[in-house]
């Protein structure tokens, strides 16, 4: 970057500069949340500024492939790679022009040009100006390949996804359902509040939301979940910081319902931090019994401890360990939420689509298989093991369980039909949710019971 001391009189928007810096960090390998936190640290941004940064960063990252595709139609030398910083200034400006409806075109162009002047030089600022203004003058210049002749490339370019995921979705769901899924993941996500029964009742939280004109809907399958439809984090002080609610998607709560933990029982969550499922389990147990929370990250376990304090939970015992090395005895209930490709949450994690590769699935299947076999050793006779993921990739879900049952004859599938309606339980008794069908994150969970004989 150019020496800022040489350009003291240039005006630029520090909020957009922070968003730009985050885009560069993400392309260099940082996760979105980490990048945004890094560029915002020490800055006196208002809550409105922080929301704007998140909108710009998440949107630009999600739509990166389509933006790059369209930008080429306005470049004199489209085949030439642009320097990283210049490319992201143009991406950021282009996103504001094409994919937001409250930012005036003049502001999007001028602020992008100002950033280029501030961080680069006049020549490249002129290039930014030329590309963005040309896109306003000639929006019809952009073209895409035929959806009929090349459906993978069309969908990947238009909706901004890697080819391998689009190919998988086309094989699994067909063209129309794949297009619906890709569209859904490109929408701005909303948060969901999980009511903490230890400190509040759902009706109390709903009354507070009503009194503050917050638009919401109650959970489709779990009544303690409230989907916030008006955006943002309403009543953050009164609800989140007080511990009355915890932010978690309803799909993530399905595994806890399937585990069906009882007060006074012994439960282990083998990949527990930062505590979404572990705290849900403890609340279901009414703070009676013991939840052993395993994670190999001390930093993430510290977050779990903080969450427990805020939520008033006293029965979670955190243990730093690789779950494959943990041998803490037998448990009534065992929850395994292994690393997965996360394709059920692609709408909420903007960098996921660019961070994952087709090889990740193969690697993760081996990890998931090993972890599931070890988890089985911790289940008491008559006890339950729940395997849960946040991906819609079948090889990481159904296939893992079918092969597990073949290897582990002492276990049997315990159908989820007792706990959930038919709509999300398949013929094998597994729970599956799809974003376009259930309006939740994509998730999978299976309940496995260890035989007593």
| Residues designated as active site | 390
Taken in order 396, 347, 219, 313, the sign of the CA dihedral is positive
Per-residue buried b or exposed e for 26-62, using 16+ beta carbons within 10 Å of the residue's own CB:
bbeebebeebbeebbeeeebeeebeebbbbbbbbbbb
Can you tell me the distance from the alpha carbon of 93 to that of 391, in angstroms, rounded to the nearest whole number?
A: 32
Burial 87-96 (b: 16+ CB within 10 A, else e): bbbbbbbbbb
Nearby residues of 285 by Cβ (< 8 Å), 6 or more positions away: 261, 262, 263, 264, 265, 267, 291, 315
How far is 403 from 178, CA to CA, in rounded Å? 28
Q: Could you tell me if 216 and 235 are in contact, meaning their C-beta atoms sit under 8 angstroms apart?
A: no
Q: What is the dihedral of CA 273, 274, 277, 279, to 10 degrees?
A: 110
Helix and strand totals (H; E) in the chain: 18, 12
- Contact at 8 Å (CB) between 241 and 264? no
Helix/strand/coil for 53 = helix
Q: Which helix (H) or strand (E) holds 77?
A: none
Order the strands of the 225-228 sheet from edge to edge: 216-218, 225-228, 192-195, 245-247
Query: What is the distance between the terminal CA atoms of the chain, rounded to a whole angstrom?
Result: 69
Task: Tell me, rounded to whole angstroms, the distance of Cα 363 from its chain centroid.
Answer: 20
């Amino acid at each position: 970057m150019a020496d800022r001391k040489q350009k003291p009189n240039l005006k630029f928007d520090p909020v957009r500069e922070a968003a730009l810096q985050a885009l560069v960090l993400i392309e260099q390998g940082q996760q979105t949340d980490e990048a945004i936190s890094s560029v915002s640290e020490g800055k006196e941004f208002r809550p409105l500024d922080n929301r704007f940064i998140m909108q710009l960063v998440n949107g630009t990252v999600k739509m990166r492939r389509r933006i790059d595709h369209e930008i080429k139609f306005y470049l004199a030398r489209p085949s030439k790679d642009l320097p990283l910083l210049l490319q992201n200034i143009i991406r950021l400006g282009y996103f504001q022009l094409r994919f937001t409806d409250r930012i005036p075109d003049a502001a999007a162009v001028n602020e992008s040009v100002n950033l280029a002047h501030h961080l680069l030089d006049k020549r490249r600022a002129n290039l930014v100006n030329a590309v963005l203004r040309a896109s306003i003058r000639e929006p019809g210049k952009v073209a895409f390949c035929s959806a009929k002749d090349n459906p993978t490339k069309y969908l990947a370019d238009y909706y901004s996804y890697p080819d391998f995921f689009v190919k998988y979705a086309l094989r699994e769901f067909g063209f129309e359902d794949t297009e619906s899924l890709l569209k859904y993941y490109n929408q701005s996500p909303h948060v969901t509040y999980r009511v903490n029964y230890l400190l509040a009742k759902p009706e109390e939280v709903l009354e507070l939301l009503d009194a503050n004109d917050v638009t919401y809907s109650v959970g489709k399958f779990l009544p303690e979940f409230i989907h916030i439809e008006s955006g943002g984090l309403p009543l953050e002080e009164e609800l989140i910081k007080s511990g009355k609610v915890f932010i978690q998607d309803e799909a993530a709560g399905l595994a806890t319902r399937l585990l069906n933990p009882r007060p006074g029982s012994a439960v282990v969550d083998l990949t527990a931090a930062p505590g979404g499922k572990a705290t849900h389990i403890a609340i279901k147990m009414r703070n009676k019994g013991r939840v052993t929370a395993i994670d190999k990250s001390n930093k993430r376990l510290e977050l779990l401890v903080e969450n427990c304090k805020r939520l008033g939970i006293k029965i979670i015992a955190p243990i730093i360990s690789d779950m494959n090395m943990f041998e803490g005895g037998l448990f009534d209930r065992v929850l395994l939420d292994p690393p997965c490709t996360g394709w059920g949450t692609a709408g909420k994690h903007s960098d996921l689509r660019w961070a994952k590769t087709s090889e990740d699935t193969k690697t993760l299947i081996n990890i998931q298989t090993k972890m599931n076999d070890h988890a089985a050793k911790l289940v008491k006779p008559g006890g339950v093991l729940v395997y849960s993921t946040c991906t819609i990739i079948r090889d990481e879900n159904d296939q893992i369980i079918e092969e597990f049952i073949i290897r582990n004859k002492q276990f049997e599938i315990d159908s989820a039909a007792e706990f959930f309606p038919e709509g999300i339980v398949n013929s094998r008794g597994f729970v599956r949710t799809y974003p376009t069908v259930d309006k939740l994150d994509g998730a999978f969970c299976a309940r496995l019971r260890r035989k007593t004989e």
